A and B are shown apart, each in its own frame.
Chain A
Amino acid sequence: MSEKHAHRDCSHLLAGLSAYIDGEAEAALCAEIEQHLAACENCRVVVDTLRRTVLLYREEQPAPLPEGGEAAPVQSVRTG
């Protein structure tokens, strides 16, 4: 947090966070987000709680889809 960083980055990166938690963000964006997260506590909380939100709803899923439906990559929502 002591590191000076531009808070305009927050809003700039927000749109990418959803793809980021799915592991679907492009490498460059991914790197940019991770660099920002290291310096920005608020965005870190947003990422953690966003990921947790998605997992909460997915945990409600009672069973895998029958054949034919390709399941979204649940595993790629990293918990760490």
Chain B
Amino acid sequence: MLGDEAEAEDVLQETFLSAFKSIDSFEGRASLSTWLHRIATNAALMRLRKRQPLSFSVDEVTEPGNGNLIPKVFYDWCCLPESELMTQEVRDEMRAAVENLPDTLRVVFLMRDVEGFSTQETADILDLSLSAVKSRLMRARMALRERLSAYFGGAASADMEGTRYE
């Protein structure tokens, strides 16, 4: 029994190691992507080692309300030119936004949206139900959107003030 579990763990570990082998080739680029991949790897490996629920494993069904989902910032930054979206400052903000997510949401977001695992794969690896993966992904994305919207909204109003006073 124990052997089976250890074996299963080895298989998973192997999957991860091959999936993340690509990271090395990007070491030269001290970029956000490198960082994102690295923390995704760490999170996943740590999870594999422990095989225990993430810090709070309350299933989403029992989680209270959608309080943290309600958007507060409606600044429409989606059509800003690439040149304004892909600055170092924006990358720093994106990074801070990910860092700020609760562990439970961060690991799901990284696996789904950064590493590109399917909902099913993410559920299998993290021992979560499909609905829990979907729900956490949604919460993570909404939290990131909120933070980036506040950032771009703030930048926009700062620009306007700049123009006004110049």
- Residues of chain A at the chain B interface (Cβ within 8 Å): 11, 14-15, 17-19, 41-42, 45-46, 48-54, 56-66, 68-72, 74
A/B pair count, beta carbons within 8 Å: 115
The docked-state distance in angstroms from the alpha carbon of A54 to that of B18 is 25
List residues of chain B with CB within 8 A of the CB of A50. Answer: 141-142, 145
Whether the pair B113, A58 counts as a contact (CB closer than 8 A) is yes
A61 touches which of B114, B117, B138, B145 (Cβ 8 Å): B114
Whether the pair A71, B26 counts as a contact (CB closer than 8 A) is no
Whether the pair A69, B71 counts as a contact (CB closer than 8 A) is no
Q: How large is the interface on B (under 10, 10 to 19, 20 to 34, 35 or more residues)?
A: 35 or more
- Residues of chain B at the chain A interface (Cβ within 8 Å): 15, 18-19, 21-22, 25-26, 29, 31-34, 36-37, 66, 69-71, 74-79, 85-86, 90-91, 94, 98, 112-118, 121, 134-135, 137-138, 141-142, 144-145, 148-149
Whether the pair A46, B148 counts as a contact (CB closer than 8 A) is no
The docked-state distance in angstroms from the alpha carbon of A71 to that of B111 is 10
The docked-state distance in angstroms from the alpha carbon of A65 to that of B19 is 6
